[in-house]
Amino acid sequence: MSNYRICLIEDDLIMGEALSDRFQLEDFHCDWFKTGAEAIKALTSQPYHVVICDIQLPDINGETLFKQLKSTEAVLPHFIFTTGYGTIDRAVRLLKLGAQDYLTKPLDIHALLASIQALCSRSTCTVTRETMLGVSSAMRNIEALLPRIAKTPTSVLITGESGVGKERLAHALRNLYDPELKHPFITVNCGALTESLLEAELFGYTKGAFTGAIRDKRGLFELASGGTLFLDEVGEMSPAMQVKLLRAIQERQIVRVGAETPIQVDIKLICATHQDLKQMVEIGKFREDLYYRIHVIHLSIPPLRERKEDIPWLAENLLAEWNTQHDDPRTLSLAAEQALLNYPWPGNVRELKHCLERACILSQQRELSPELLFDGLPPLPTEQPHSEESLSEYIQACERKYIGNCLRNHNGHISETANSLGISRKNLWEKMKKLGI
């Protein structure tokens, strides 16, 4: 049996026994506790690597248990919370408190085991609000990969829509490459310069190489040598510049414009783009050999609309920055928070930042309203377009809504919900799985 120890806190006998048996089969040492009091006693007396904790316990709420343990200022193991009925608000609250993950039942056992394995093998590191990338599972998964990536000199490609935070991720990688910030971090937007200017910026030039070159100038490759070079919007490069970049990466040397002598450079390269480089390769707009040279490790940042858990967290961080810099603090009303969640954010984090900044400047009150955030009517929750339904589809939709309401009324407790519906727990599980609840 491995040295990894799991603390399972689950009052459901069927679920607890199933998880406990599976953990044993996976070679984990598992202690199963059915009440919060038993678990607290164990957690304060012996070490564990991961805690799997149900939200609804017979003697204490899982969130309260976690807060109680954190108040002791002891070093806690990684926490994964599970619940029969989850909400974005609760997930965000728990992740902000320091939980590693928040899963809804029925559990995807393979995803749970993968998360446990990653947490057990992850080295302990200090995570703060400033260093976190987000509280959503997608961003935390990316964050978990960074320490491993930082150990290698491999090129990294970051992709994602405009405004999702590609440069922030590049900075996070650089901080792991160079925790004491002793070496340079050079950034250039490849789409903001013409081909000739970009070549001169990247590789430098000699005196007299062209009109206006009154002295020798070191390029960004030279300036970044020993550190990190971040090429943003690399997909905007012309074919000619792509050839020159490929040669510089392959040979680890550059030649200044107007010179003949090559100069050795030693850089860690991070590239970013909002474009689909693979599709650009297929249509001949991006070199295939360059694509595979910079695509060794690929980190894809999902758009903000696909990771709604990050929206309240980001908004809180951005308002905290505003409040630190100004004597006139701002907060969000509950209606404003909901309006932020309803909006699709085509401009992603950048648009969210500008939205909050504009509202903070224009607001004459401390609490920001939805109308002020969106300059008029707040956005409504997005709904799927209606289509013709069969009778069975309509009945299933009604059943899904009814069971969902019952789960909400009983705080996600499976046994109580099953009793109120007049069916067995097993029957309820089967219906939830069939209906995708």
346-364 tens-digit pLDDT? 999 999 999 999 999 988 8
Name the least confident of 264-268, 316-320, 327-331, 415-419: 415-419
Alpha-carbon gap, residue 363 to 366, rounded angstroms: 7
Averaged confidence pLDDT in the chain? 85
Q: Going edge to edge, which strands form the sheet with 297-300?
A: 185-189, 228-232, 268-273, 156-159, 297-300
pLDDT category of residue 210 using cuts at 50, 70 and 90: confident
What is the average pLDDT across 137-158?
A: 86
Rounded to the nearest 5°, which phi and psi values hold at 201? -70, -45
Alpha-carbon gap, residue 213 to 31, rounded angstroms: 71
Identify whether residues 283 and 324 lie together within a single domain.
no
Mean pLDDT: which of 37-41, 394-398, 401-405 is highest?
A: 37-41
pLDDT at residue 301, rounded to an integer: 95
pLDDT category of residue 385 using cuts at 50, 70 and 90: very low
The domain that contains 278 carries what CATH number?
3.40.50.300
Position 133 in a domain: no
pLDDT category of residue 130 using cuts at 50, 70 and 90: low
Identify whether residues 12 and 101 lie together within a single domain.
yes
What is the average pLDDT across 254-277?
A: 93
Identify whether residues 268 and 346 lie together within a single domain.
no
pLDDT at residue 176, rounded to an integer: 86
pLDDT at 265 over 90: yes
Alpha-carbon gap, residue 3 to 49, rounded angstroms: 9
Write out pLDDT tens, residues 270-301: 999 999 999 999 999 999 999 999 999 999 99
Identify whether residues 156 and 292 lie together within a single domain.
yes
Write out pLDDT tens, residues 195-205: 889 999 999 99
Position 385 in a domain: no
Identify whether residues 364 and 268 lie together within a single domain.
no
pLDDT category of residue 123 using cuts at 50, 70 and 90: very low
Identify whether residues 72 and 216 lie together within a single domain.
no
Q: Name which of 321, 323, 326, 314 is nearest 352 in CA terms.
A: 314
Alpha-carbon gap, residue 231 to 83, rounded angstroms: 43
Alpha-carbon gap, residue 223 to 116, rounded angstroms: 42
pLDDT at residue 124, rounded to an integer: 42
What is the average pLDDT across 240-256?
A: 93
Position 350 in a domain: yes
Identify whether residues 324 and 201 lie together within a single domain.
no
Task: Give the domain extent around 68.
Answer: 5-124
Identify whether residues 97 and 186 lie together within a single domain.
no
Identify whether residues 319 and 346 lie together within a single domain.
yes
Identify whether residues 149 and 24 lie together within a single domain.
no
